[in-house]
Chain A
Amino acid sequence: MPETEKVTGSEAVMKTLIAEGVNLIYGYPGGAIMPIYDALHGYQSKLKHVLTRHEQGATHAAQGYARVTGNVGVVFATSGPGATNLVTGLADAQIDSTPMVCITGQVSSHLLGTDAFQETDIISISTPVTKWNYQVTKASEIPKVLSKAFYIARSGRPGPVLIDITKDAQFELSEYAYQACTAIRSYKPVPTLQMSQVEKAAELINASKKPLIVWGQGIILGEAEQELQTLIEKASIPSASTLLGLSAIASDHPLHQGMVGMHGHLAPNKLTNECDVLIAIGMRFDDRVTGDLNRYAKQAKIIHFEIDPSEVNKNVYVEYPVLADVKQSLQALLPLIEENSHPNWLDEFKQLRKIEDEKVIQAQLSPTKEGLTMGEAIECINKATNNDAIIVSDVGQHQMMSARYSKFVQTRSKVDSGGLGTMGFALPAAIGAKMGALDREVVAIIGDGAYQMTIQELGTIMQTQAAVKIVVLNNEFLGMVRQWQELFFDKRYASTEMTNPNFVKIAEGYGIPAKSVSKRKELAAAIDEMIACETAYFLEVMVEKEGNVFPMLPTGASVSDVRLS
Chain B
Amino acid sequence: MEKPQSFTFSVYTENNLGLLNRISQIFLKRHINVESINASESEIENVHRLTIVVEITEAQAIKVAKQIDKQIEVIKAFYHREDETIYRETALYKMPINCLYDGGRVQELISDTYASIVNVSKDYFVIEKTGKKAETTRLYNELRPFGLMQFLRSGRISVTKEVMDISSELTKLVS
Contact = CB atoms under 8 A, between A and B. Distances in A.
Interface of A: 123-124, 127-128, 131-135, 152, 184-187, 308-310, 313-314
B150 interface: no
A313 B18 contact: no
The SS class assigned to the B binding surface is: helix
Candidate in A135, A185, A309 with the most chain B CB atoms within 10 angstroms: A185
Given A184-B72, A186-B73, A127 B25 contact: yes
A152 B72 CA distance: 8
Given A309-B66, A310-B66, A310-B67, A127 B21 contact: yes
A313 B67 CA distance: 12
Given A135-B17, A186-B74, A186-B75, A310 B69 contact: yes
Given A309-B69, A310-B67, A314-B63, A185 B75 contact: yes
Interface residues of B, number: 20
The SS class assigned to the A binding surface is: mixed
B83 to A, nearest CB: 24
A187 B71 CA distance: 8
A101 B25 CA distance: 21
A127 B72 contact: no
B10 interface: no
A310 B63 contact: yes
B25 A128 contact: yes
A126 to B, nearest CB: 10
Given A128-B29, A309-B66, A313-B62, A187 B21 contact: no
Nearest to B74: A186
Contacts of B13: 186
Given A127-B22, A185-B174, A132 B72 contact: yes
Contact of B72 (A124, A187, A309, A310): A187
Interface of B: 13-14, 17-18, 21-22, 25, 29, 62-63, 66-67, 69-70, 72-75, 173-174
A338 B29 CA distance: 44
A257 to B, nearest CB: 31
Contacts of A186: 13-14, 72-75, 173-174
A306 B136 CA distance: 46
A127 B18 contact: yes
Contacts of B25: 127-128
A308 B75 CA distance: 16
Contacts of A187: 72-73
Nearest to A317: B59
A185 B173 contact: yes
Candidate in A127, A152, A184, A313 with the most chain B CB atoms within 10 angstroms: A127
B70 A124 contact: no
28 contacts: A123-B18, A127-B18, A127-B25, A131-B72, A132-B72, A132-B73, A135-B17, A135-B18, A152-B72, A184-B72, A185-B75, A185-B173, A185-B174, A186-B13, A186-B14, A186-B72, A186-B73, A186-B74, A186-B173, A187-B72, A308-B70, A309-B66, A309-B69, A310-B66, A310-B69, A310-B70, A313-B62, A314-B66
A23 B13 CA distance: 35
A131 B18 CA distance: 13
Contact of A124 (B14, B21, B62, B67): B21
A309 B70 contact: yes
Nearest to A187: B72
Candidate in B66, B75, B173 with the most chain A CB atoms within 10 angstroms: B66
**Which 8 pairs, one residue from A and one from B, show the smallest C-beta to C-beta distance?**
A310-B66, A186-B75, A132-B72, A128-B25, A187-B72, A310-B70, A127-B22, A185-B174
A219 B66 CA distance: 23
A218 to B, nearest CB: 16
Contacts of B75: 185-186
Contacts of B66: 309-310, 314
Contacts of B67: 310
Candidate in B21, B29, B62 with the most chain A CB atoms within 10 angstroms: B21
A213 B63 CA distance: 25
A129 to B, nearest CB: 10
A284 B116 CA distance: 54
Contacts of B17: 135
A134 B19 CA distance: 10
Given A128-B29, A132-B73, A152-B72, 14 more contacts: A123-B18, A123-B21, A124-B21, A127-B22, A128-B22, A128-B25, A132-B72, A135-B18, A185-B75, A187-B72, A309-B66, A310-B63, A313-B62, A314-B63
